[in-house]
Amino acid sequence: MRILIVEDETKLAQALKESLEYEGFDVDIAHTGEDGFFLVNERHFDLILLDVMLPGRDGFDVLSTLRKRDLQTPVLILTAKDTVEDRVSGLDRGADDYLVKPFAVPELLARIRAMLRRGRGEQRAVVLKAADLEMNVVTRDVLRGGQAIDLTAKEFELLEYLLRRQGTVVTREMLARDVWNVSVRAVPLDNVIDVHMTRLRKKIDQGFAYPAIHTIRGVGFILREPNR
Ligand code: CA
C-alpha cells in the first residue's frame, strides 16, 4: 500500500512518513500542492494525507482539482483549523475523512486502516446515535430526546469519542491519548478528565429516564443504549 503525504511542515511530514513506514506502508512526501499533483500523475497511491494550509494552492484547492479529474483515491484531510466551515468544506470537496491537528499517531493509523478497509465513497458517519442521543459532527448539534444540548468543545470531543466506540469500555488512558493528546498519563490529567466527564454526564444524562454513560469502576467509562 502506498501513501502520499502532502504537508509543508517538513518535520511533521518526516515523522508521519517514519510512523507509516514502520507500519509497512510505502510513503512519498510532497511539500506543496503542485508537488502533490506531480506525484499523483506519476504513480498510483492507495491513500492521500492532505494538509489544508499549504503554500500556494491550499489543500482544499488541491482536493477539488483531484476530484474534478475523477481521481478516486481516498483523501484524509489534516487540518489545524477546527471549524464547522472547514469540516463541511473538506467533506463537500470530496475528502473521505479529516483529522484535526495536533493528533495522536495511533488515531491517524486507525483512521487510515478504516479508510483502506471501506475504500472510497463511504464517508465517516456524520450523525452518531445511541438510542435517543444524537450528535451531528458537522453542524455540531447534540440532541437528547429531541432536546438540544449545549456542549463545550472538549465535552463535544469527549462525547464523539464515546459515541464512536459505543458498547465498548473507554479507559482514561485512551481519553488521555486520543482526546487530550497526551501520551504520559498523570494524576492531574485524570482529574481533568473526570471533571469534564462529570460535566458532560450532567448535561446529557441528568433529567433523563436512564443514563447513557456508565462508569466501569477501576477501568473507565462506557456509553451504551439501555438494556445492552
Ligand atoms: Ca501546513
Helix (H) or strand (E) holding 227: none
For cell 470530496, name the residue.
94
The pLDDT, as a whole number, for residue 139 is 82
Q: What is the rounded distance in angstroms from the CA atom of residue 110 to the CA atom of residue 114?
A: 6
Predicted confidence (pLDDT) at residue 170 exceeds the cutoff of 60: yes
Report how far ligand 1's centroid is from the alpha carbon of 80 (Å).
8
In CATH, which of 3.30.1520.10, 2.130.10.10, 3.50.30.30, 3.40.50.2300 is domain 2-118? 3.40.50.2300
Report how far ligand 1's centroid is from the alpha carbon of 52 (Å).
6
Report how far ligand 1's centroid is from the alpha carbon of 222 (Å).
36
The pLDDT, as a whole number, for residue 10 is 96
- Say which residue, 84 or 214, is predicted with more confidence: 214
Report how far ligand 1's centroid is from the alpha carbon of 69 (Å).
24
- Say which residue, 138 or 22, is predicted with more confidence: 22
Longest dimension (CA), the chain: 59
Report how far ligand 1's centroid is from the alpha carbon of 139 (Å).
25
The pLDDT, as a whole number, for residue 187 is 74
The pLDDT, as a whole number, for residue 99 is 87
Predicted confidence (pLDDT) at residue 183 exceeds the cutoff of 80: no
Domain range list for the chain: 2-118, 127-223
Q: What is the rounded distance in angstroms from the CA atom of residue 63 to the CA atom of residue 215?
A: 42
In CATH, which of 1.10.10.10, 2.102.10.10, 3.40.50.970, 3.40.50.2300 is domain 127-223? 1.10.10.10
User: pLDDT (tens digit, 9 = 90+) per residue, 65-104?
Assistant: 888 887 888 999 898 766 666 666 777 777 888 888 888 8
Report how far ligand 1's centroid is from the alpha carbon of 185 (Å).
29
User: pLDDT (tens digit, 9 = 90+) per residue, 100-145?
Assistant: 888 889 889 988 988 887 765 445 567 899 999 999 887 889 999 9
